[in-house]
């Protein structure tokens, strides 16, 4: 009697088809076995399934084919789903038929250790490894969480441009391009444009790639990465802190709810994430500086930090350990901050900025209230030696119905790195671009 036509299913849905005759299509991740029995691990992007091949069930020819398959051969397997709590994913496939779709010989990425340079050169293939697939899916879920949270809060996605005639924070780290004979820059931040959009739609965000020609070679730097930048009209520091906290905590909950398998593939304990879904302490820079100096005096940690400085890695580390969850630091010394930040009316030496410092990862969010007074902003632009011409349109926002407004930026890949526990941001973007890498 002929088998019925198999049902095409994806591995993530396998358990729902217990006992049914199905077809899986994917790539050979690994194989083992001996004698008359083979275990094929098949991956299809949605998960990895153990397929049991018995010589007696598939016949001599198909068994020989299965035994000779190279890693990453593409296959169609037909067979019956069998729930089994011991199998990865809770179900395995009892194979009836095997069809080789595309062969694969001498796949370059094997079980042995490969150096990061080799893996990066083969990024187009490295993406197929369990950990990298999990990271891509996690990144997808963080994107979903960012957008669904803001959409739910009444925000509109209004994309800022990539080509810009002016630089937001200095020109030394800008990529330039020849724009039909004129010089144009690639954007470093969509914020200034998001401010214009917020004056139109009230609550907006831009979410796209930004570019930094930084010569840094740290694990936290990419020349191209994705940044989410919400901007709120009629808002101040409290609203921007509330929004940042709400967004980050929503993202954590979304990963816990939808990404359990990915976290498992990354050996990430969900309890670590769960602990961060708690109210974020909000401290002023001055309070934090006092704590850090006291801890230094007590010999609890070593650091070159002095009041007035930006936080360094050891400072962020100890704060993360102390609080055990993300921390919001507000009211920063104004000198080091960008020209567009509003000063604290009660102490003009302070800028109404907020950074969110996450345990282990360090800074993940940078936000501020924006200067909304025309004359103050003009003076600030002059003080920073920026060309007023280029900011004429930006100044218009303070000329015609200026309102208090605030926003922040959160880097997608840094967030993925933080939540996944994978320290290198280069693994948290599909095709990383760094000082030394533009291939593949």
Residue 228 interacting with a second copy (CB under 8 A): no
Q: How far is the CB of 72 from a second copy (least distance, A)?
A: 4
- Burial label for 398, CB within 10 Å (0-12, 13-18, 19+), is buried
Query: Any residues with CB less than 8 A from the CB of 380 and at least 6 apart, and which?
Result: 339, 340, 371
Segment interacting with a second copy (CB under 8 A) among 169-177, 245-253, 275-283, 319-327: 169-177
Q: How far is the CB of 350 from a second copy (least distance, A)?
A: 23
From the list 23-31, 80-88, 264-272, 315-323, the region that binds a second copy by CB under 8 A is 23-31
Of 55-63, 80-88, 146-154, 350-358: span binding a second copy (CB under 8 A) = 146-154
Residue 432, phi then psi, degrees to nearest 5? -65, 145
Q: Does 158 bind a second copy (CB under 8 A)?
A: yes
Alpha-carbon distance of 38 to 42, in angstroms, equals 12
- Tokens encoding 351: 């800028």
CB of 184 to a second copy, least distance (A): 5
| Exposed e or buried b per residue across 354-388, where buried means at least 16 C-beta atoms within 10 angstroms of its C-beta | bbbbbbebbbbbbbbbbbbeeeebeebbeeeebee
List the one residue from 20, 30, 144, 173 that touches a second copy (CB under 8 A).
Answer: 144
- Is position 146 an interface residue for a second copy (rule: CB under 8 A)? no
Contact 66, 57 (CB under 8 A): no
Q: How many CA atoms lie within 13 A of 337 on its CB side?
A: 26
Residues 400-429 touching a second copy, rule: CB under 8 A, are 400-404, 429
Evaluate whether 7 touches 22 at the Cβ level (below 8 Å).
Answer: yes
Can you tell me which of 20, 21, 25, 57 binds a second copy, judged by CB under 8 A? 25
Which pairing describes strands 405-411 and 362-369: parallel, antiparallel, or unpaired? antiparallel
State yes or no: residue 51 binds a second copy (CB under 8 A).
Answer: no
Binders of a second copy in range 307-326 (CB under 8 A): none
Q: How far is the CB of 209 from a second copy (least distance, A)?
A: 5
Q: Any idea what DSSP says for residue 339?
A: T
Using alpha carbons only, give the angle 360, 237, 333 rounded to the nearest 5 degrees: 70
For a second copy, the binding residues in 346-385 under the rule CB under 8 A are 372
Which residue, 54, 48, 49, is CA-closest to 33? Answer: 54
- Report in angstroms how near the CB of residue 221 gets to a second copy at its nearest: 13
All residues at 6 or more sequence positions from 89 whose CB lies less than 8 Å from its CB, including other chains: 11, 12, 14, 15, 47, 48, 49, 50, 261
The answer to whether 151 contacts a second copy (rule: CB under 8 A) is yes
Residue placing its CB nearer to a second copy in the complex, 289 or 381: 381
Q: How far is the CB of 187 from a second copy (least distance, A)?
A: 10
Q: Determine, following the binding rule CB under 8 A, whether residue 264 of this chain makes contact with a second copy.
A: no
Q: Nearer Cβ to a second copy, position 34 or 180?
A: 180
Which CB, 226 or 418, lies closer to a second copy?
Answer: 226
- Residue from 97, 209, 333, 421 touching a second copy (CB under 8 A): that is 209
The answer to whether residue 236 forms part of the interface with a second copy (CB under 8 A) is no
136 interacts with a second copy by CB under 8 A? yes
Across-strand partners of 411? 227
Task: Based on the shown chain and the rule CB under 8 A, indicate whether residue 238 belongs to the binding site for a second copy.
Answer: no
- Per-residue contact string for residues 265-304; x = within reach of a second copy by CB under 8 A: ----------------------------------------
> Across the strands, what pairs with 367?
354, 408
Query: Do 282 and 242 contact (CB within 8 A), yes or no?
Result: no
- Closer Cβ to a second copy, 376 or 402, answer by number: 402
Instruction: Check residue 118 for interaction with a second copy (CB under 8 A).
Output: no
Tell me if 229 contacts a second copy by CB under 8 A: no
Q: 101, 59 in Cβ contact below 8 A? A: no
Measured CA to CA, the distance from residue 220 to residue 424 in angstroms comes to 6
- Site map (CB under 8 A) of a second copy, residues 175-194, x = contact: xxxxxx-x-x-x------x-
Among 394, 410, 420, 426, binds a second copy (CB under 8 A): 394
Interface residue with a second copy among 397, 410, 425, 428 (CB under 8 A) is 397
Is 78 one of the binding residues for a second copy (CB under 8 A)?
no
β strands within 131-223, DSSP E: 156-157, 163-164, 176-179, 182-186, 203-211
Cα 200 from Cα 158, distance rounded (Å): 10
């Amino acid at each position: 009697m002929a088998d019925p036509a198999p049902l095409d299913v994806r591995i993530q849905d396998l358990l729902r088809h217990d006992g049914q005759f199905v077809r899986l299509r994917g790539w050979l991740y690994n194989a083992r076995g001996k004698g008359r029995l083979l275990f094929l691990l098949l991956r299809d992007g949605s998960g990895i399934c153990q397929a049991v091949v018995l010589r007696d069930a598939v016949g001599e020819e198909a068994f020989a084919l299965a035994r000779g398959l190279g890693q990453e051969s593409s296959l169609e397997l037909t067979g019956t789903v069998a729930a089994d709590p011991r199998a990865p994913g809770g179900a395995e496939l009892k194979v009836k038929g095997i069809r080789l779709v595309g062969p694969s010989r001498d796949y370059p990425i094997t079980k042995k250790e490969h150096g990061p340079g080799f893996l990066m050169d083969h990024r187009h293939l490295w993406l197929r490894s369990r950990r990298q697939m999990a990271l891509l899916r996690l990144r997808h879920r963080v994107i979903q969480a960012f957008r669904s949270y803001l959409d739910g809060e009444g925000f509109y996605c209004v994309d800022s441009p990539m080509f810009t005639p002016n630089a937001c924070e200095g020109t030394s780290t800008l990529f330039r391009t020849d724009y039909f004979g004129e010089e144009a820059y690639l954007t470093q931040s969509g914020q200034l444009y998001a401010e214009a959009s917020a004056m139109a739609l009230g609550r907006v965000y831009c979410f796209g790639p930004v570019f930094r020609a930084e010569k840094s070679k740290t694990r936290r730097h990419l020349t191209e990465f994705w940044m989410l930048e919400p901007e709120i009209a009629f808002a101040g520091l409290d609203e921007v802190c509330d929004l940042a906290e709400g967004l980050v905590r929503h993202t954590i909950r979304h990963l816990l709810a939808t990404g359990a398998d990915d976290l498992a593939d990354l050996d990430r304990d969900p309890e670590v994430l769960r602990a961060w879904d708690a109210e974020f302490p909000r401290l002023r820079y001055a309070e934090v500086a006092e704590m850090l100096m006291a801890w230094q005096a007590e010999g609890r940690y070593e650091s070159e930090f002095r009041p007035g400085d930006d936080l360094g890695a050891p400072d962020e580390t100890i704060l993360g350990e102390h609080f055990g969850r993300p921390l919001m630091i507000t009211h920063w010394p104004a000198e080091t901050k960008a020209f567009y930040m509003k000063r604290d009316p009660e102490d003009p030496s302070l800028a109404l900025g907020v950074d969110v410092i996450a345990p282990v990862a360090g800074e993940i969010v940078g936000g501020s209230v924006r200067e909304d007074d025309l004359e103050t902003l003009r003076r600030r632009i002059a003080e920073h030696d920026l060309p007023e011409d280029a900011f004429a349109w930006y100044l218009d926002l303070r000329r015609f119905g200026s309102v208090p407004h605030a926003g922040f930026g959160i880097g997608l890949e840094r967030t993925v790195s933080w939540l996944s526990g994978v320290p290198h941001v280069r693994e948290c973007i599909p095709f990383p671009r760094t000082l030394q890498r533009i291939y593949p």
